[in-house]
Chains A and B, each alone.
Chain A
Amino acid sequence: MAAEAEDAASVVGKSVMVVGIDDSEHSFYALQWTLRHLFYPAAGSSSPFKLVVVSAKPTPTSVIGLAGPGAADVLPFVESDLRKISLRVIEKAKEICTSHSVADVEFEVVEGDARNVLCEAVEKHHAEILVVGSHGYGAIKRTVLGSVSDYCAHHAHCTVMIVKKPKPKH
Chain B
Amino acid sequence: MDESKEPVATEGREKMTVLVAVDESEGSLYALSWALDNLFAAAVGGAPNKPQPLGRLVLVHAQQPLQHFIMHPVGPAVYATSSVIDSVKKAQEQNSRDVIERAKGICRRRLRPASMVFCTQQVEAEAVIVTGDPKETICQAAEQMQTDLLVVGSRGLSKIRR
Contact = CB atoms under 8 A, between A and B. Distances in A.
B76 interface: no
Contacts of A44: 47
Chain B, interface size category, equals 20 to 34
A61 interface: no
Given A1-B37, A37-B149, A99 B5 contact: yes
A12 to B, nearest CB: 15
Nearest to A159: B34
Interface string B1-43: 1011110111011101000000000000000001001110110
A169 interface: no
Contacts, number: 76
A41 interface: yes
Interface residues of A, number: 33
8 contacts: A5-B45, A29-B3, A32-B1, A32-B3, A37-B148, A38-B42, A48-B45, A154-B159
Interface of B: 1, 3-6, 8-10, 12-14, 16, 34, 37-39, 41-42, 44-47, 114-117, 148-149, 159, 162
Given A39-B13, A96-B4, 16 more contacts: A2-B114, A5-B117, A36-B6, A37-B148, A38-B13, A40-B45, A41-B12, A43-B10, A45-B46, A47-B42, A47-B45, A48-B41, A99-B8, A100-B8, A155-B159, A159-B38
